[in-house]
Amino acid sequence: MTGQFTATQASGEVYALGEGPVWDPDRQRLLWVDIDAAAVHEGRLDPATGAVAATTAHTFGTAGNTAGNTAGNTAGNTVGAVAVSADGQLVVAEREVLTRVGTAGRRTELARVLPPGAPSRLNDGAVDPAGRFLIGSMALDDRKGQEVLARLDGTACVRLDDDLTLSNGLAWSPAGDRLYSIDSTPHVVWERDYDPATGETGPRRELFTLTDGMPDGMCADIEGNLWIAIFGGGRVECRDPGGRLLATVEVGAPNVTCPAFAGPDLDVLVITTSSSGVDLAEHPGSGHLFTARVGVRGLATPYWVPPQW
């Protein structure tokens, strides 16, 4: 699969820092977050046109307001990622903690990942082939090499990495036996062996480095190729696990944050973007969702398996 594609603007709404699209097949809905607004959004995807209609928003508190924020974070909350269970529960990565949102809307803190008041926040997350949620963090200052990638086991967090700077996109191979992860600041895509049955990993090794733009969010297709958002580059790149460029999707916004395959056939690539700090007169597509058909289907996103209390 090779090619040059152009994404189409899919949403009417503008998001400050759109991120982390997730397809929920049982409810035929799309989930994504606006990190800076501390919000999880739900919407409907029209697979024929690629249009996304926002339907519901869940907010988790803003600067100086801890309403709805079970962590009580007064530093200004964020929402880095969301995942969904088979029965419709959500796990939401707030600034420092993971929060469970029940099907009736009740919110409970699952686990604290970062210490209170840390100069960091939770960032990108994803569900492994067995239903475990993985989440990374990013520095909010100039510190380097002190951020984490953690796996939620029940209500305990197991650290896989503790030497990152901006933990970002996560994806697995079609067999689930390899985990790919991004550290955006050094522009590195990492690889390690992964045991879906236990969540145990092998040693981390550098897969490849991107030199033309910052890698951000990531997903995988059924052929095992990686689709990587290039923040600041206005595109999504498809690369094989050896780093060879196979395809490019041009996006009408410079700060492209994350791709995900969605729709009943997982053949619509949904792409989030950011409007924060962008001249909207020059880049009016910034902050919108985009979609593209790229001639390949994505891997199904596993449902999160919540802890049993």
pLDDT in tens, 97-112: 999 999 999 999 999 9
Cβ atoms of 114 and 67 within 8 Å: the answer is no
Cα–Cα distance, 57 to 55 (Å, whole number): 7
Per-residue model confidence as pLDDT tens digits over 3-40:
899 999 999 999 999 999 999 999 999 999 999 999 99
On whether 255 is known to bind a ligand per the annotation, the reply is no
Cα–Cα distance, 107 to 112 (Å, whole number): 14
- Check residue 295 and report its DSSP letter: S
On whether 153 is known to bind a ligand per the annotation, the reply is no
Per-residue model confidence as pLDDT tens digits over 177-220:
999 999 999 999 999 999 999 999 999 999 999 999 999 999 99
Q: Give the whole-number percent of the chain exceeding pLDDT 70.
A: 94
Cβ atoms of 136 and 150 within 8 Å: the answer is yes
With a CB cutoff of 8 Å and minimum separation 6, the contacts of 104 are none
Cα–Cα distance, 2 to 261 (Å, whole number): 17
pLDDT > 90? residue 64: no
- How many residues are there in the chain? 309
Superfamily of domain 3-292: TolB, C-terminal domain (2.120.10.30)
Neighbour count for residue 48 (Cβ, 10 Å):
8
Cα–Cα distance, 160 to 136 (Å, whole number): 10
Considering the entire predicted model, what is its pTM?
0.94
Complete edge-to-edge strand list for the sheet that includes strand 133-139: 120-127, 133-139, 147-153, 156-164
- Catalytic-residue membership of 216: yes
Which residue has tokens 């410079």? 254
pLDDT of 206 reads: 97
- Paired strand residues for 292: 269
Per-residue model confidence as pLDDT tens digits over 141-183:
999 999 999 999 988 999 999 999 999 999 999 999 999 999 9
Domain ranges of the chain: 3-292
Catalytic-role residue among 34, 36, 216, 221: 216
Burial of 118 (0-12, 13-18, 19+ CB in 10 A): middle
What is the DSSP track for 31-71? Answer: EEEETTTTEEEEEEE-TTT--EEEEEEEE--BTTB-TT-TT
pLDDT of 155 reads: 87
pLDDT of 65 reads: 32
CA 203 to each of CA 171, 179, 191, 206: distance values in angstroms, whole numbers, following the listed order? 16, 11, 9, 10
The whole-number average pLDDT for the span 113-125 is 96
- Check residue 165 and report its DSSP letter: S
Cα–Cα distance, 135 to 130 (Å, whole number): 15
- pLDDT band for 47, please (50, 70, 90 cuts): very high
On whether 121 is known to bind a ligand per the annotation, the reply is yes
Residue 205 token pair: 């090794």
pLDDT of 251 reads: 98
pLDDT of 61 reads: 84
pLDDT > 70? residue 309: no
β-strand pairing of 107-112 with 120-127: unpaired
On whether 216 is known to bind a ligand per the annotation, the reply is yes
CA 196 to each of CA 16, 53, 149, 159, 303: distance values in angstroms, whole numbers, following the listed order? 35, 35, 17, 16, 14
On whether 141 is known to bind a ligand per the annotation, the reply is yes
- Paired strand residues for 266: none
Cα–Cα distance, 123 to 166 (Å, whole number): 8
On whether 279 is known to bind a ligand per the annotation, the reply is no
The whole-number average pLDDT for the span 288-305 is 97
